Amino acid sequence: MSGSSFGSLYRVTTFGESHCAGVGAIVDGCPPGLSLTEADIQTQLTRRRPGQSKVNTPRDEKDRVKILSGTENGVTLGTPIGLFVPNEDQRPKDYGEMSRIPRPSHADFTYEKKYGVRASSGGGRSSARETIGRVAAGAIAEKWLRETFGIEIVAWVSSCGELDAGAVCPETLTRDEVDQNIIRCPDPAAAEKMIERVTALREEGDSIGGTLTCVVRNAPVGLGEPVFDKLEAKLAQAMMSIPATKGFEIGSGFAAATMTGSAHNDAFVMKNGRLGTRTNHSGGIQGGISNGEPILFRIAIKPPATISRAQPTADFDGKDTVLEAKGRHDPFVVNRAVPIVETMAALVLMDMALIQRARR
Amino acid sequence: MSGSSFGSLYRVTTFGESHCAGVGAIVDGCPPGLSLTEADIQTQLTRRRPGQSKVNTPRDEKDRVKILSGTENGVTLGTPIGLFVPNEDQRPKDYGEMSRIPRPSHADFTYEKKYGVRASSGGGRSSARETIGRVAAGAIAEKWLRETFGIEIVAWVSSCGELDAGAVCPETLTRDEVDQNIIRCPDPAAAEKMIERVTALREEGDSIGGTLTCVVRNAPVGLGEPVFDKLEAKLAQAMMSIPATKGFEIGSGFAAATMTGSAHNDAFVMKNGRLGTRTNHSGGIQGGISNGEPILFRIAIKPPATISRAQPTADFDGKDTVLEAKGRHDPFVVNRAVPIVETMAALVLMDMALIQRARR
Amino acid sequence: MSGSSFGSLYRVTTFGESHCAGVGAIVDGCPPGLSLTEADIQTQLTRRRPGQSKVNTPRDEKDRVKILSGTENGVTLGTPIGLFVPNEDQRPKDYGEMSRIPRPSHADFTYEKKYGVRASSGGGRSSARETIGRVAAGAIAEKWLRETFGIEIVAWVSSCGELDAGAVCPETLTRDEVDQNIIRCPDPAAAEKMIERVTALREEGDSIGGTLTCVVRNAPVGLGEPVFDKLEAKLAQAMMSIPATKGFEIGSGFAAATMTGSAHNDAFVMKNGRLGTRTNHSGGIQGGISNGEPILFRIAIKPPATISRAQPTADFDGKDTVLEAKGRHDPFVVNRAVPIVETMAALVLMDMALIQRARR
Amino acid sequence: MSGSSFGSLYRVTTFGESHCAGVGAIVDGCPPGLSLTEADIQTQLTRRRPGQSKVNTPRDEKDRVKILSGTENGVTLGTPIGLFVPNEDQRPKDYGEMSRIPRPSHADFTYEKKYGVRASSGGGRSSARETIGRVAAGAIAEKWLRETFGIEIVAWVSSCGELDAGAVCPETLTRDEVDQNIIRCPDPAAAEKMIERVTALREEGDSIGGTLTCVVRNAPVGLGEPVFDKLEAKLAQAMMSIPATKGFEIGSGFAAATMTGSAHNDAFVMKNGRLGTRTNHSGGIQGGISNGEPILFRIAIKPPATISRAQPTADFDGKDTVLEAKGRHDPFVVNRAVPIVETMAALVLMDMALIQRARR
């Protein structure tokens, strides 16, 4: 319960902050006999790292993962898998005035109050580097889910500020299609406008939020553990634990609030020999349990809190001041969240799949 | 991990479905020395039960809670508190054609597939009666939070279909104000329109969704366990585990996706001797940890799936058919969800408060 | 972690003390489709209850279990199984001077210090009635283990004071053989002497300890979760959580400390088509994992602390006094522990079996 | 539940086997503000490592621990503490015939059956190197317990084969006294005989078992979580999870089985202003909760299974063969278990202390 573990049968424990030796995770409960090398994990880590495009921060972190334990000759042993990514800059940084001024909408203030001590980098584990451990652990889960059930998980940027992606087909969309532009919006026209918008905001020293949609295809029927660990409940926890997330929707989401039952109900119908539903307002989950339809959810991500524009605020002593962040900062992070969301979804699904397997 | 427990230091385990002996919960970890009688718990159970108004189902369930263990002379002993509410009708009902036809957007199909056996009532634990155990357990948490920190939790119906409540002041709103009309919308004009809308839909044999907003006041700074058990992540899990929920937002929620960082950031400012924030887009949580501002979240609830209008669908064998539900059904459940949301919030906060207390 | 839950996939949560409404348990994670009625559970509860013989306390508790939830038409639904046994005497007893004087080697003192409040009965959950919930939950596990793997679990009294049982064959011993005398020692000659000894001590107002041995036959190879949840580690926790236990041994136990490796090692040998071991000093567990041989362990149980002989001691204020317990008390409890040990073993094995099933 | 985590509020997750990159642990839940450097941890790791004396294996492993995360400027941040010790020899060894022949009383056979894949080193996590992670994590707990409560934990070799240590005073014994001879028996005369015995057995290619006793002084009253996480139950799990342990006793242990209640009961008495007990058959625990007296327990450790004498056994196919282990092996490991037992005890106590702190 001490916050850094997730899952029960496939349990991930992450560690590390910005300026220590590194970040990583222990995966306990990975089934033995899975073929696994560092390359299997690196793909998603590389998609996650900054410095990939002009719409993100130009820091170039290498983020090469090393498997510390749990495999031999490229096969998992069933023992804990240690995963480690060294930090490039391991010295506590001098964050200067930031140590006096809690950054607005950041974790500086709450970490200080909760722990009574604070890493020089400010918010400790609220750093985006924390997500490296999750992504590495989730990349292994993705591989197992793919090989065991043919599960495919694809997330994409569905909006940037007021700009929405146009029609996207969640039944067929691939990661390659998502990655074909730097903002990871599979609608090329919308992507272009988004890039313009983000580039302009970067010039202004400002940032912008957005939404991200994710589909899980080929999940077996029966995943999810009512009543507290319903599939959408664990997905919601997983997604809302990602830095900067502000909202979660499954299927029809908030739109369901404006609908009538007769319009919202998903009628059953025969589909390729299985009982499916005509519509999918349920988002692939009924009664907290996957029903065989694509699992569809959407996440709101706030604009990055670190902006270079001057911000009037107060210091730790409550004295009014103005904060001016130095350096260059990410004006938009939704595209970088894509692999984080996919791998967090994999962590939830894999744990649920193992639990359900024990039941039969 | 078997789904029916929630929390770690204040751990609730619920049990019961529609037609067994009853429903209830075990609360393990309640601090000793709390004064507690059944009356303390009954208030929220009574607010939860159906049959209270013309906008809800007219079934009159009594739902009287009995404390089975864990108290003596009206004081908690620190031992597990057993809570039990007998079912009025304990015989497995004859659900007739429903046993052949999975109700659309219900849990009949997924329970059948997951467990290979199904309660006669259909979805087993997906029944709304399941929430009784949570509400009873959460009512105890509410009492402890109120007495320990002065925490106040108030939820209300913020929309019904397309009808929104007008201005509501989350800083001062009381449960009495919420309960002054049957639809639990504190804006009387909006409430009247909502009641009309729901009444009309009832006549049509249809139902409607809505949203519910909840505020937690006076929560201490420092609650929430990064990185996976961030406060908003556990709130999201808690809320998305309530039947019929489709979405969760904290603070600015999905609106954050359209905002710039300069507009969204909550600047710090001195407030009555503590460091607070000028705006509250963060919804009282920064970096996954409560910051002392009101915690504000919103939930989307879908229209009830059981409607009396005829629905074309398929039976378990995939044969096309038409389902006509008998009896009278709830056309709207958001108002009944009010105490469920409040008590689930209390479960999250109490667990987090105990964990944080261990840290110091 | 709040102490009243055990297991992960098959998770039991118990509740209740001596003078509340009753005692019981919630079983979460029982596989669906198991045929189950109250009679299946009652057998072990009846073996556990006092009043069965002159060597135990003559209180006649009825201890009839009621299934509150989780089954329909005699079959488990996969939902939580509520189990309840009402207390005959539900009024807080007047324990008189005991409220002033902590009983030596009892839990009165530590409960008072730990919780700051104490049930009138003294030690709250340290009461032997607490074990009812475990036994009921474990009886269900026994049934599943028997039907799934043919597992047999048999415990017996292997010593009473200095009196040891003679040769007992753990490979064939049955519960009927154990129950053929009131002291549950399958060696009739030793049993007779033990009964004499206990009867004499009862007259003297004194009590006596003993040991209990347990065998688990037909457990599949592969149960146990290194490194902290090795099979013997979880068995040790389970057994040492039973009131009055003072020691646990697996296989050769403390005798191993005096042996050489060449004498202690269990050589492998072909046995009926499977690889077994010639000797079984390992007690059926190697590296924390069951190896297919009978699992054998032994438990030390202290003499009951409540005796009617006068005891010089001190009251809560530290003032010297003499305690004289009223009423008749158990001079020996090892025979009553037999079903408790068997069912606790079943709880461990079933949880481990489900976890291992998820792995494949 | 996936076996490699221990504890709830102070939760340790270990990883690593013999021939991977290294071994280590993540500690989640360590309170912030504890001063901590690698030197604080190294002492116990150094006491644990082999190659220290002629009675142990002459392999000289360096076992230098590195803190990967969770501290800054020598102070804990409240975030997960990563701990890592590289393996000297990271290449999978050629264990030759051992891959065909499961070593008697080793984990080769059960790991093969449980996981279906086996590390080249044989038993994977059953390797003694696995304990490095525990010791490192427990060394941090020891420091916190010492600084917070003045808790002292001292273990020693109380027997080697049939040779018992003479009188040892658990109230005053220090680690320095234990370490004054290589066999860690604080009775110099007994120690000398033990060393002779072990040396002789080494010459014969054989090994010997022994017992280890441990005392915890200055533990506060109130630790332990009835009913399943009683203090002795968690200590038993902790100790029986250490490789090669065969038995656990608390206080009077198996001797209690031969005693009468009047002789065994610990009468209360005033002691330096607190209510203590005249005798300590309870071993410092009553009703599963620490009572302020020294916590005393004893562990049986079997003779090391790897011996160089030829052993008749069978190979994986069941064919009779003779195994002759190459190299030099530990004829006795009880002395090396001393720091493992101490640190495992610290893990239990620290977790219990944090849970109890949350209650008040």
Residue C295 is inside which H or E element, if any? strand C295-301
Residue A288 corresponds to which amino acid? G
Interface test with C, best of D108, D202, D240 (most C CBs within 10 A): D240
pTM over the 0.90 mark: yes
User: Taking CB atoms and an 8 Å cutoff, what residues of chain D touch A118?
Assistant: 77
Q: Which of C11, C24, C69 has the CB atom closest to B20's CB atom?
A: C69
Q: In the structure encoding, which two tokens stand for residue A179, read together? A: 């990655």
What residues contact residue B203 under an 8 Å CB cut-off, 6+ apart? none
A244 pLDDT above the threshold of 70: yes
D298 Cα to chain B: minimum distance (Å): 30
Q: Is the CB of residue B22 less than 8 Å from the CB of residue B16?
A: yes
B218 burial (CB, 10 Å; 0-12 / 13-18 / 19+) is middle
Q: Taking the domains of chain A in order of start, what are their residue ranges?
A: 5-359
What residues contact residue A169 under an 8 Å CB cut-off, 6+ apart? none
Residue B149 corresponds to which amino acid? F
Interface test with A, best of C9, C28, C351 (most A CBs within 10 A): C9
Q: Does C309 sit within 8 Å of D2, measured CB to CB? A: no
Closest to A158 measured CA to CA, from A26, A357, A297:
A297
Q: Does C264 sit within 8 Å of D209, measured CB to CB? A: yes
Tell me the residue length of chain A.
360
Query: Is the predicted ipTM greater than 0.90, yes or no?
Result: yes
Interface test with B, best of C5, C11, C67, C79 (most B CBs within 10 A): C79
Q: What is the dihedral of CA C26, C30, C32, C36, to 10 degrees?
A: -70
Q: Does B9 sit within 8 Å of D355, measured CB to CB? A: yes
Q: Is the CB of residue B11 less than 8 Å from the CB of residue C2?
A: yes
Q: Which of A115, A289, A359 has the CB atom closest to B110's CB atom?
A: A289
Q: Is the CB of residue C152 less than 8 Å from the CB of residue C43?
A: no
Interface test with B, best of C34, C117, C229 (most B CBs within 10 A): C117
Residue B83 is inside which H or E element, if any? strand B81-86
pLDDT, tens only, D221-272: 999 999 999 999 999 999 999 999 999 999 999 999 999 999 999 999 999 9
Q: Which residues of A328-339 are buried (b: 16+ CB within 10 A; e: fewer)?
A: ebbbbbbbbbbb
For the segment D314-343, the average pLDDT, to the nearest whole number, is 93
Cα–Cα distances (Å) from B121 to B20, B126, B176, B207, in that order, read 10, 10, 35, 21
What residues contact residue C266 under an 8 Å CB cut-off, 6+ apart? C277, C278, C279, C280, C281, C282, C286, C293, D104, D105
D155 Cα to chain C: minimum distance (Å): 16
Q: Does D92 sit within 8 Å of A28, measured CB to CB? A: no
Q: How far apart are CA D44 and CA D341, in angstroms?
A: 11
Q: How far apart are CA D231 and CA D360, in angstroms?
A: 18
Q: Which of C263, C268, C312 has the CB atom closest to D267's CB atom?
A: C312
Q: Does B254 sit within 8 Å of A241, measured CB to CB? A: no
Residue A144 is inside which H or E element, if any? helix A131-149
For the segment C215-228, the average pLDDT, to the nearest whole number, is 98
pLDDT of residue A150: 98
Q: Does A71 sit within 8 Å of D117, measured CB to CB? A: no
C110 Cα to chain B: minimum distance (Å): 13
pLDDT, tens only, A110-151: 999 999 987 776 667 888 899 999 999 999 999 999 999 999
* Size of the A and B interface in Cβ pairs below 8 Å: 397
User: Taking CB atoms and an 8 Å cutoff, what residues of chain D touch A93?
Assistant: none
pLDDT, tens only, A54-101: 676 655 558 899 999 999 999 999 999 999 999 987 666 655 656 899
pLDDT of residue B143: 98
pLDDT of residue A97: 59
With tokens 């441990």, the residue in question is D214
For the segment A200-209, the average pLDDT, to the nearest whole number, is 96
What share of chain C has pLDDT > 90, as a percent? Answer: 84
pLDDT, tens only, C230-259: 999 999 999 999 999 999 999 999 999 999
Helices C334-359 + A334-359 axis angle, to 10 = 130
**Planar angle of CA A320, A324, A326, nearest 5 degrees:** 150
Q: Is the CB of residue B27 less than 8 Å from the CB of residue B83?
A: yes
Residue C354 corresponds to which amino acid? L
Q: Is the CB of residue D267 less than 8 Å from the CB of residue C312?
A: yes
User: Taking CB atoms and an 8 Å cutoff, what residues of chain C touch D230?
Assistant: 3, 240-241
Q: Does C15 sit within 8 Å of B70, measured CB to CB? A: yes
Q: Does A355 sit within 8 Å of B2, measured CB to CB? A: yes
What's the CATH class of domain C5-359? alpha beta
Q: Does C5 sit within 8 Å of B82, measured CB to CB? A: no
Q: How far apart are CA B288 and CA B351, in angstroms?
A: 15
Q: Does A358 sit within 8 Å of C355, measured CB to CB? A: yes
Q: Does D2 sit within 8 Å of C159, measured CB to CB? A: no
User: Taking CB atoms and an 8 Å cutoff, what residues of chain B touch D360?
Assistant: 31, 357
Closest to B269 measured CA to CA, from B285, B296, B292:
B292
Closest to A163 measured CA to CA, from A215, A204, A200, A203:
A200
- Which chains lie within 8 Å of chain A at 3 or more CB pairs, if any? B, C, D
Residue D274 corresponds to which amino acid? R
Q: How far apart are CA D145 and CA D151, in angstroms?
A: 6
Q: What string of DSSP letters covers C271-319?
A: ETTEEEESS-TTTTEETTEE-SSPEEEEEEEPPPS--SS-EEEE-TTS-
* Size of the B and C interface in Cβ pairs below 8 Å: 177
Q: In the structure encoding, which two tokens stand for residue C215, read together? A: 């065998």
pLDDT of residue D245: 98
Q: Which of C22, C32, C115 has the CB atom closest to B117's CB atom?
A: C32
Interface test with A, best of B199, B237, B282 (most A CBs within 10 A): B237
Q: Which of B1, B79, B358 has the CB atom closest to D355's CB atom?
A: B358
Q: Does B287 sit within 8 Å of A126, measured CB to CB? A: yes
User: Taking CB atoms and an 8 Å cutoff, what residues of chain D touch C117?
Assistant: none
pLDDT, tens only, D86-126: 998 766 665 565 689 999 999 999 999 999 987 776 667 88
Closest to B54 measured CA to CA, from B189, B183, B179:
B183
Nearest CA in chain A to B126: A287
Q: CA end-to-end span of chain D, whole Å?
A: 28
* Size of the A and D interface in Cβ pairs below 8 Å: 177
Cα–Cα distances (Å) from A268 to A283, B148, B205, B317, B320, in that order, read 14, 50, 20, 10, 8
Q: Is the CB of residue A68 less than 8 Å from the CB of residue A27?
A: no
C326 pLDDT above the threshold of 70: yes
Closest to D180 measured CA to CA, from D338, D61, D294, D340:
D338
pLDDT, tens only, A16-44: 998 899 999 999 999 999 999 999 999 99
Closest to C79 measured CA to CA, from A16, B18, A354, B54:
B18
Closest to A187 measured CA to CA, from A212, A213, A168, A203:
A168
Q: Does B250 sit within 8 Å of A355, measured CB to CB? A: no
Q: Which residues of B334-348 are buried (b: 16+ CB within 10 A; e: fewer)?
A: bbbbbbbbbbbbbbb
Q: Does B302 sit within 8 Å of A256, measured CB to CB? A: yes
Interface test with D, best of C265, C295, C296, C344 (most D CBs within 10 A): C265
Q: Does D355 sit within 8 Å of C113, measured CB to CB? A: no
C318 burial (CB, 10 Å; 0-12 / 13-18 / 19+) is middle
User: Taking CB atoms and an 8 Å cutoff, what residues of chain B touch A1?
Assistant: 8-9, 225, 229, 351, 355
SS3 for chain B is CCCCEECCCCEEEEECCCCCCEEEEEEECCCCCCECCHHHHHHHHHHHCCCCCCCCCCCCCCCCCEECCCEECCEECCCCEEEEEECCCCCCCCCHHHHCCCCCCCCHHHHHHHHCCCCCCCCHHHCHHHHHHHHHHHHHHHHHHHHHHCCEEEEEEEEECCEECCCCCCCCCCHHHHCCCCCCCCCHHHHHHHHHHHHHHHHCCCCECEEEEEEEECCCCCCCECCCECHHHHHHHHHHCCCCEEEEEECCHHHHHHCEHHHHCCCEEEECCEEEECCCCCCCEECCEECCCCEEEEEEECCCCCCCCCEEEECCCCCEEEECCCCCCCCCCHHHHHHHHHHHHHHHHHHHHHHHHHHC
Cα–Cα distances (Å) from C240 to A199, A299, B72, D219, in that order, read 65, 48, 28, 20
pLDDT of residue B99: 80
User: Taking CB atoms and an 8 Å cutoff, what residues of chain B touch D8?
Assistant: 8
C302 Cα to chain A: minimum distance (Å): 35
pLDDT of residue A60: 55
Residue C94 corresponds to which amino acid? D
**How confident is the prediction along chain B (360 residues), in pLDDT tens digits per residue?**
579 999 999 999 999 998 899 999 999 999 999 999 999 999 999 999 876 666 766 555 588 999 999 999 999 999 999 999 999 876 666 556 568 999 999 999 999 999 998 777 666 788 889 999 999 999 999 999 999 999 999 999 999 999 999 989 999 999 999 999 999 999 999 999 999 999 999 999 999 999 999 999 999 999 999 999 999 999 999 999 999 999 999 999 999 999 999 999 999 999 999 999 999 999 999 999 999 999 999 999 999 999 999 999 999 999 999 998 777 788 999 999 999 999 999 999 999 999 999 987
Q: In the structure encoding, which two tokens stand for residue A70, read together? A: 């749990």
Q: What string of DSSP letters covers C155-172?
A: EEEEEETTEEP----TTT
Residue D158 corresponds to which amino acid? S
Q: Does D68 sit within 8 Å of A117, measured CB to CB? A: no
For the segment D130-151, the average pLDDT, to the nearest whole number, is 98
Nearest CA in chain C to D14: C227
Q: Is the CB of residue D207 less than 8 Å from the CB of residue D307?
A: yes
* Size of the C and D interface in Cβ pairs below 8 Å: 396
With tokens 């369930």, the residue in question is B61
User: Taking CB atoms and an 8 Å cutoff, what residues of chain A touch D24?
Assistant: 68, 82
